[in-house]
Amino acid sequence: MEPVDPRIDPRLVPDGSRAAVVAEHQEDYVNLPSIITPAGTVISRWTLTDEERRLILEGEDIFLSCYTFGHPLQPVLLNVGPLDYSKDV
């Protein structure tokens, strides 16, 4: 998977949302283009390779790894397609 430009329909994000790049200038991490809402929701967008799409079509599962470094897990949400973030999902 590769992160891509997260722009979505502006009607789906609350006023005051802003573009940001998470992990910018951190050599150990991939730059993550994001949108950050006033409530602190960080929205990123990912595209699947053809191979990943094939594997999912064949029934493979998606795994989400969260590196918490021993701290409590933060809530995460994994979905297909954009949600209406203007309702602060």
- The pLDDT assigned to 2 comes to 78
**Which pLDDT does position 86 carry in this prediction?**
87
What pLDDT, on the 0 to 100 scale, is given for residue 89?
Answer: 56
Compute CA 13 distance to the chain's CA centroid, rounded to the nearest angstrom: 14
Positions in the chain whose pLDDT score sits under 70: 88-89
- With 0-12 / 13-18 / 19 or more C-beta atoms within 10 angstroms meaning exposed / middle / buried, residue 14 is middle
Contact assessment for residue 37 and residue 14, using Cβ atoms and an 8 Å cutoff: yes
Q: Which two tokens stand for residue 51?
A: 């191979």
Q: Are 34 and 20 in contact (CB under 8 A)?
A: yes
User: Which tokens hold the place of 43?
Assistant: 């929205």
Q: What is the pLDDT of residue 88?
A: 62
Helix/strand/coil for 36:
strand
What's the pLDDT at 29? 86
* pLDDT value at residue 30: 85
pLDDT at 85: 87
